[in-house]
Structure formats: structure tokens, C-alpha cells
Amino acid sequence: MYLVYLVDKVILLRLLKLARYSLMGIWFLTQWQSQGKPDKIQVVELGPGRGTLLYDMLNAISSFSDCFRSICEVHLIEISSKLREIQYKKLCSSSKKFDGLNFFWHDSFNKISDKWSMIIAHEFFDALPIHLFECTSNGWREVLVDIDDTKHSLYNFRLIVASVPTKASIALTGSLAYRMFKIGDRIEISPDSMEISKQIANHIKSNGGASLIIDYGQDFIQGNTLRAIKHHEFVHPLSEPGQADLSADVNFCYLKESVTNLVEAYGPITQSKFLQSLGIKARLLMLLKSALYTNHKDLISSTERLVHPSAMGEIYKVLAFVPKGSLKVPIAFEKSNN
């Protein structure tokens, strides 16, 4: 009985991921339509994980044959050889559904083709490196990792504040926005995030298309959000270097500022607003019709978790890039301030 319960749980989670990721595919479909239905397009995902999101997006778009036939290439930005194998199996070898598509793997975004693009970055930017700075009486100083060999040390590492300016503190903390902080405040800055968001924006500017950035974060700068997760549990970021996944909240304002002159940036809006605008409740009703009655309560509560403010609905944010001069505001972003 317990095994049946676990199988049901796995199926429910898969159904909800399918609904969530399919709605992202529908959003890109609306952009393809509003930008004139270009006949040669590509789909690009940064950090595709196990390939599930991309599979579900493509599956949703495949229901609209005119758009699906326009997709000639799919590009995956992935540096892990192990994950590439998993993605290949998911997208290319386990199903013939996408046999007509050409899949390509790259280690950086700037290697993709020059075509109208659907670009998705889901939980990608939060994994990029950050610099941490502290406001001192002598200006901004970088927070660095040092060896801690005292007998009371738990991790053999510690954070220290640099006594003199570093190249990073000189290059990254000159903005007027950083003058309002008081001594002791800390901020996180990710130059890699700025560079990649610029690459995405430049591609859209030159070739057309749209992008969605979906991640943890806020529309303002933060400090001390660095966290480490191992075996689905939080651990101290310095406790097991190389053995835990590190991430930090995304500064969406920073991403928008980096692309101001390149594209129209909309959002960020909450995941709750995004999913509800695209019809997550209608999707839930469809799932309820096809699921066992005993699973209805779990389906409803899991959907609530996706959209409720105290769960995932407010934590996740969604930012969209579209070409400058686009005639229509992207669906779900009608009331956002771009």
C-alpha cells in the first residue's frame, strides 16, 4: 500500500510539473504569434537540468503544428557531461516525439545560431557565482574565504573582510545606488549574471524572439542570501566545499539594468501571477477530471503550493525580455512596470 502511495505521489508531482512547464510553452507560443510567426526558429534553454522542462515545453508547442514545424533547432547550454547524457536520453533516445528536431549542446550561450529564439532560463541565474561586499568606514570591501585552523573551527574555513580594496570591489561597487548603505551592510553582485543577460538581450535584439528568466530572488539588491543544499537539506556554505549545491537569490533589478538599451524587460512578476494569468486553474480542472478521486486533495494542495504567497507563489519571480518596439505587452505582464 505504501508503494502505491509513493507511485501516486510521483505521478501527481509529474502532472503538476507538466502543467507548469506546459504553460511556459504556451507563453512562448503567444510571443511567436505576436512577432509575426517566423518560419525558422530555435528553442534555447540555459541549465536544462534533466531535460524535463524542455520536454514539456516542446510537447505543449507540438499541439500547435504550425509553430512546431517552425522549430528547426534546439540548443541546450550545459557544461556537465553527466547531465548532457541524461538530457539526451530524455529528449532524443527515449521517445520519437521530437525526431524531426536537431539538438545541440554548448558550454556557453554565445555559441548558438542566429535565429528567432525562445530562450528559457529556469533556476539558472541563482547558481551563478557572486561577489560579497561589506560596507566599511573605508568604503566597500570584499568578503573573502580564509582558512580557519583554530581548534574551535567547525569547517576549517571562515569569511573575512578584506583590509584593502580588491579588483572586484573597485570594479563593481562604484554605482551611486551603493552609497545609501550603512556600515556593516552587505551586498551580493554577480557580474556573470549581467554578462549572460546581456548576451540573451543582444541575441533577441539582433534576431528577434523572447526569453523567460524564472528564479528565486527580488527586484532589489540583497546580501547574505548564499546558501548550500546537500541531499535536499540546507548545510553551511563552507561545510563541504564541492559536495553541496550553492545558490544565491537573483537581483532582477540588476538584470534589467544590464539590458536597458537592448530589449524591453517586463517584470519581474510573481510565479503566482504568471501561472494564474496563463490558466493554471483551468489546467488543474483538467487534471482533476483525469485523476483518481483519492488524489484530488493532493492535486489541489500541490497547485496551491505553486501559487500561494506563503509557498512558491511569491518566492519565484518571472522576468521577460522581448524586442524593443514590440506592439503587444507579453501575456501575464500587462500590469507590470517595465
**Cell numbers standing for residue 301:** 494542495
Instruction: List the beta strands (DSSP E) in 171-294.
Output: 186-189, 209-218, 227-230, 233-235, 245-247, 250-251, 263-270
How buried is 178 (Cβ within 10 angstroms: 0-12 exposed, 13-18 middle, 19+ buried)? middle
Query: Per the domain annotation, does 332 fall within a domain?
Result: no
CA distance 255 to 6: 40
Claim to verify: residue 33 and residue 23 sit in the same structural domain = yes
Q: What is the pLDDT of residues 177-202, one digit of tens each?
A: 899 999 999 999 999 999 999 999 99
Claim to verify: residue 87 and residue 205 sit in the same structural domain = yes
Neighbours of 135 (CB within 10 A): 20
CATH of the domain at 254: 3.40.50.150
Of the candidates 189, 205, 220, which is a domain's last residue?
Answer: 189
CA-to-CA dists, residue 173 to 160, 182, 194, 252, angstroms:
18, 14, 14, 17
Q: What is the pLDDT of residues 136-153, one digit of tens each?
A: 999 999 999 999 988 888
Claim to verify: residue 181 and residue 255 sit in the same structural domain = no
Amino acid at 140: W
The model's pTM is: 0.89
Number of domains in the chain: 2
Q: pLDDT-derived band of residue 2, with 50, 70 and 90 as boundaries?
A: very low
Claim to verify: residue 164 and residue 79 sit in the same structural domain = no
Neighbours of 310 (CB within 10 A): 9
Domain span at 140: 131-189
Cell 496563463, residue?
278
Claim to verify: residue 88 and residue 114 sit in the same structural domain = yes
Query: Per the domain annotation, does 334 fall within a domain?
Result: no
Rounded to 5 degrees, φ, ψ at 90 are: -70, -45
Query: Per the domain annotation, does 135 fall within a domain?
Result: yes
Claim to verify: residue 47 and residue 179 sit in the same structural domain = no
The segment with the largest mean pLDDT, out of 3-7, 263-267, 281-285, is: 263-267
Query: Per the domain annotation, does 208 fall within a domain?
Result: yes
Query: Per the domain annotation, does 13 fall within a domain?
Result: yes
Q: What is the pLDDT of residues 219-258, one digit of tens each?
A: 999 999 999 999 989 999 999 888 999 999 999 999 999 9
Claim to verify: residue 282 and residue 312 sit in the same structural domain = yes
Rounded to 5 degrees, φ, ψ at 97 are: -55, -35
Claim to verify: residue 114 and residue 138 sit in the same structural domain = no
Residue 323 pLDDT: 98
